[in-house]
Amino acid sequence: MMWSLTSHPQSVRQTLAQICTYLRECDLDEGQCLNVELVLAEALNNICEHAYAGADDGRILTAISCRGADVQCHITDKGRAMPNLTPPLGGFRDPDSFAFDELPEGGFGWGLIRAIAQDVQYERRDLENHLFLTIAAELEQSPQLACRLV
């Protein structure tokens, strides 16, 4: 299934709602639907904020296929390329190492994407960004990561 949306936050929210409906029609369990929604929300919002630098009229194509309980996603946009043509590694910062009012506003999205998606691939082709994500039914987390996601 494919969705075309603009790089506007409202368009992202509407598309995510449509994608969640589609995922439920694929008979995925609620946990898997939530994992896919979280990964896509982070990826799409990053495209809006960084690739299109806040412009509300950038086009984004999102294709999703369910293969059993695994979900494969292909997101395409014509925004700016990722730095060094590589998705950020992301990571989790120890929240105890910051005072509450010093916690950074961002920087957690790619950590979440990489924690949930089993396969993350990025290509820049013909002035287009192509992000490929696979979210497997069985999320393999270390106990430490699971605690931080809760």
pTM of the model: 0.84
What is the total count of domains within the chain? Answer: 1
Give the tens place of pLDDT for each residue, 46-85. Answer: 999 999 998 999 999 999 999 888 999 999 999 999 999 9
What pLDDT, on a 0 to 100 scale, did the predictor assign at position 73? 98
Q: How far apart are the first and last CA of the chain?
A: 30
Q: What contacts 17, CB < 8 A, 6 or more positions away?
A: none
What pLDDT, on a 0 to 100 scale, did the predictor assign at position 140? 52
Mean pLDDT of 111-121: 93
Give the range of the structural domain holding residue 47, as residue numbers without chain letter: 2-149
Using alpha carbons, list the distances in angstroms from residue 106 to 32, 42, 46, 109: 24, 11, 11, 7
Burial 125-135 (b: 16+ CB within 10 A, else e): eeeebebbbeb
**Which CATH number does the domain housing residue 114 bear?**
3.30.565.10
What pLDDT, on a 0 to 100 scale, did the predictor assign at position 62? 98
Mean pLDDT of 132-139: 86
